[in-house]
Amino acid sequence: MTLNFLIAPDFAPERFAGWHMLNTALQRRSGIGLHLLTPVNAHEQAQLLADDKADLVYANPFDAADMIRTRGYIPFARPAKHYDEMVIATGAESGLMGVEDLKPGCRIALTENKDVKLIGLRLLEPADLTEDTIQWQPVDSYQAAARLAIKGEVQASFFLADAFSSLSRMTRSQLRVLVESAISDISHVLLAHPRIATELPAIEKALLGLGQTSGDADVLEALGLPGGFEPLSQEEAEFMIDLMDTLLD
C-alpha cells in the first residue's frame, strides 16, 4: 500500500528537493510507501482534498483548521520552534517607511495564502486599513509579489517570512520591510487522515526521529527546518485554531 503525502504549495522553490528527501527518509524508516503530492497552487490543493486523495498533509494553519474540524484529520506533528510569521514589504524606492504610510486605496500584492492575509490585515490596523479599503493584486508566487513591489506597481506585498528570507539577496536589497509579525503560536502542521490511523504510529516515529541519525541534518537543512519536528496534540492544535478564529474576529 502507498499513501499520498500532500505538501502545501507555499514552500520556497528551493525547498522542493528537501521534501523529496524527507519523503524518501520517511519511507525507508517507516516501511510504508509514500507518494509525494506537490500541488502548484491552492486551487489544485483544494481539488486533491475534495477528491479525498491526501492521506498525509503538511498544511498551513488556515487550511489545517478546516481539515481538523470538518474533515476529521488528525494533527500529530509540527516543525519544532518554527512559526508562520509574515512580512509586509515595499519597494526600497517607494518612500514608505512603515505601515502607517499606507493609505486607503493602496495596492497590495498577495498569494492565495489565507493565513498570511489574515495576519497581514491585523498588522495593517495601525494604518486604519481594512480588507475593503485595499486594492488587492493576486499573484501566483512570492517572487511575483516582490517584482511588483520593486517596480512600484503595488505599494506593498505580503510574504510568508520564510519565503521572504528565501528570496535572493539582490531581490531583498530592493525591498524594504515595513513590519514583520511575531505571534509565535501559529505554524504549519502535519495531519493524517483517520483511515491511516493504523499506519500513523510508524510514520510519526520516523518523522519525530529525524535529527537523531547521521545525514538527517542534510534533510532538515534542505527543508529549512533545522530543528526538525515535534509532537502536536489535539489540544495544542485546537488552541492554534482558536487563535486563528480570534484573528478573524
In degrees and rounded to multiples of 5, residue 131 shows phi and psi of: -55, -35
Q: Do 108 and 171 fall within a single domain? A: yes
Amino acid 80: pLDDT: 94
- Please report where in the chains the cell 527518509 appears, as a residue: 25
Four-CA torsion 34, 28, 84, 69, nearest 10 degrees: 50
Q: Do 111 and 162 fall within a single domain? A: yes
Whole-structure pTM value: 0.85
CA distance 6 to 47: 12
How is residue 181 written as a grid cell? 509579525
Q: Rg of the chain over CA atoms, in angstroms?
A: 19
CATH of the domain at 235: 3.40.190.10
Amino acid 183: pLDDT: 85
Could you count the other beta carbons within 10 Å of the beta carbon of residue 53? 14
Q: Do 169 and 239 fall within a single domain? A: no
Q: Do 63 and 106 fall within a single domain? A: no
Q: Do 162 and 199 fall within a single domain? A: no
Of 135, 129, 240, the closest CA to residue 184 belongs to 240
DSSP secondary structure code for residue 193 in this structure: -
| Structural domains of the chain, count | 2
Cβ contact 192:73 at 8 Å: yes
Q: Do 78 and 96 fall within a single domain? A: no
Q: Do 52 and 117 fall within a single domain? A: no
Paired strand residues for 34: 3
Q: Do 111 and 50 fall within a single domain? A: no
The residue ranges of the chain whose pLDDT is under 50 are none
Amino acid 201: pLDDT: 96
Domain with 117 in it: 86-180
